[in-house]
Amino acid sequence: MFNDIGPLELVTLVVLAVLVFGPDKLPKVIQDVTRTIRKIREFSESAKEDIRQELGPEFKDFEFEDLNPKTFIRKQLDNDDLGLKEIRNGFDLKKEMAEVTDAVHGREPESSAGGSSSSAGASGGAIDMTKRPQKPEEDRPPFDADAT
């Protein structure tokens, strides 16, 4: 529960608790807090059991941790029914980003083996994004030094 609290932070909390509640009332406060946490856990477990009973026997092995998106995705990636591992392994983010960077800078891609769409875009009418579009001089409004 408190995995991310270091020893210095724990000592600080204890000193702060002694200062706020005093050494006489501190044991009573600790008992009340632990009793409250225990009741909350019991309530949570009973609610989980009620939900499992209401769902029926086909969901008897249902875990509420599966509702966490990270856990759900991790389980689905491990369960390779949809072929997600092939898709994940076939996608090379570094290569794709390098091709996009080369296309933006107007350079030819280093390897033309896997990038047919980017090599076609780079050679056939690539737009140089580093140059500013040039407007003819007559399109500019005249500069009036007195107006500023």
DSSP reduced 3-state for 136: coil
Structure tokens given for 83: 């072929």
Report the distance separating Cα 107 and Cα 118, nearest Å. 11
How distant is the alpha carbon of residue 21 from its chain centre?
A: 40
Q: What is the pLDDT of residue 113?
A: 46
Can you tell me the distance from the alpha carbon of 126 to that of 140, in angstroms, rounded to the nearest whole number?
Answer: 28
Rounded to two decimals, what is the model's pTM? 0.41
pLDDT of res. 74: 78
> One digit per residue, pLDDT tens: the chain, 148 residues?
567 788 899 899 889 988 998 889 989 999 999 999 999 999 999 998 888 888 888 877 777 777 788 887 777 776 655 566 666 677 777 888 888 888 888 877 655 444 444 444 444 556 666 766 665 556 667 777 787 6
Please give the C-alpha separations between residue 137 and each of 129, 131, 132, 143, 144, in angstroms, as whole numbers.
22, 17, 15, 12, 15
Helical spans, DSSP H, in 56-125 = 69-78, 84-90, 93-105, 116-123
- At 110, the amino acid letter reads E
Distance of CA 13 to the CA centre of its chain: 31
| Domain segments of the chain as ranges | 1-58, 92-123
